[in-house]
Amino acid sequence: MKDIWLTLILGFVLGLGAAAVFTIYRSKRKPEAEEPTPTITDSAAEILEVLAPAGIVLNGSNVITRVTGSALATGLVDGRRLVHEKLIDLANQARSTTGVVSLEDELPTQFKGGKLFVSARAKLISDGSVLMLVEDRTESHRLDEMRKDFMANISHELKTPIGAVGLLAEAMESNLENPEVLGKLVRNIRKEAKRLSALVKDIIQLSKIQSSSTLTSTDLVNLVDVVRDAIDRNSWRSEKSEVDVEFHSDSSKVEVYGDAEMLTVAVKNLVENAIIYSHKGSTVGVAIEVVDGVANIIVKDTGVGIAKSEQRRVFERFYRVDQSRSRETGGSGLGLSIVKHAAISHMGEVKLFSKLGVGSTFTLRLPTIAKKVNRQSRRKVDRG
């Protein structure tokens, strides 16, 4: 299909070029003049700009004679030369055949360690000139890698509790006559089943959030109610860990548009993490502050803290700072990833400040209704 599109584009471009050249030829023809070689006209170049993700025309010396804006934006061109040797080799290959040659490979970017994944096709036009179309597939490749990693992680995470349940069941069969051992094994099975249930629930929640990058709900949500509900869902955990949770808000109503359940789960995960990584007898502080039309839901603990080297990774799926603590609490490693995607879905963000031995502060920032109304009012004034 891609080769068909390339052939159609080439035919259209060459057709326009030939027509323009023929018109000039007829008006200025001399008896001894030779038939001119078709060239790409300005009109054809404009069409190429619209049709091609990144279009480049090179002459026989690999000097660029035409280039689209998308090719410049992608960083394929430096002056009138191609940056990447692989693309130059592709152009040279096109001159040795009448067909379309293609390349799918990764190219280095100007940033250290950066990669650009491209699909390129090239064809000889005439007199050594080559038309090259380059499609940037970096984002598509990144998403494919994420999906692969996600499936691999899910398989690994599910295998652990399922395997544990199987082993515990076998141990139960061998200790049917020993009530004390049997009771301990049953409790362990219940613990692994609870962990498995929490993992599946988090996977479903994350999949639901990731299914749409922009929220379509127009429900009014009071963040004060959201935070109170989130704290209430963690009451059993705070009591068990002997950690107090204190909540403060200057206003009884801070409204946003969004999904109340999604936001409640996000805040619940932040509070849960704060409790898990806090010391016995300490306090977790939760507050709502509104600054310049942005609601800040702040969750602060005085626990173990997070090393600076790990702070960039805590929002990754299945990433755990403390593996032993996560096994003990049954954490899935998806909690903060859910928070991040919930924030993005509500046009917001989540920030982290943490220091080892001092504690961590997570801030979920969401635009309030007041800010959106003000923006709409300003637009009406600007339009007059």
- Answering whether pTM is above 0.85, one says no
153 and 269 both lie in a single domain: no
> The domain that contains 175 carries what CATH number?
1.10.287.130
Kindly report the backbone phi and psi dihedral angles of residue 60, in degrees, each rounded to the nearest multiple of 5, phi listed first: -65, -20
pLDDT of residue 358: 87
What is the model's pLDDT at position 100? 93
Q: What CATH number did the domain enclosing 239 receive?
A: 3.30.565.10
Q: Are residues 8 and 31 located together in one domain of the fold? A: yes
Residue recorded with tokens 């070029």 = 17
**377 pLDDT tier (thresholds 50, 70, 90):** very low
322 & 346 share domain: yes
Stated length of the chain: 384
Q: Which among 188, 211, 234 is the end of a domain?
A: 211
Mean pLDDT, to the nearest integer, of 246-265?
A: 90
- Do 246 and 158 have their domain in common? no
| Gap between the Cα atoms of 320 and 244, Å rounded | 24
- 65 with 84, same domain: the answer is yes
Tell me: pLDDT of 197 over 60: yes
Domain that holds residue 249: 214-384
User: Are 277 and 307 contacting, i.e. CB atoms less than 8 angstroms apart?
Assistant: no
134-160 pLDDT, tens digit per residue, is 888 877 777 676 666 666 666 666 776
pLDDT, tens digit, for every residue of 35-65?
444 455 555 556 666 655 688 888 989 999 8
Pair 222, 301 in one domain = yes
Torsion of CA 269, 272, 277, 278, to 10 degrees: 140
Residue 242 pLDDT greater than 60, yes or no: yes
In the chain, the number of structural domains is 3
Q: Tell me whether residue 97 is exposed, middle or buried, using C-beta atoms within 10 angstroms of its C-beta: 0 to 12, 13 to 18, 19 or more.
A: exposed
- For residue 55, give the CATH number of its domain: 3.30.450.20
Q: What is the pLDDT of residues 66-114, one digit of tens each?
A: 888 777 777 788 888 998 899 999 999 999 988 999 999 888 875 545 6
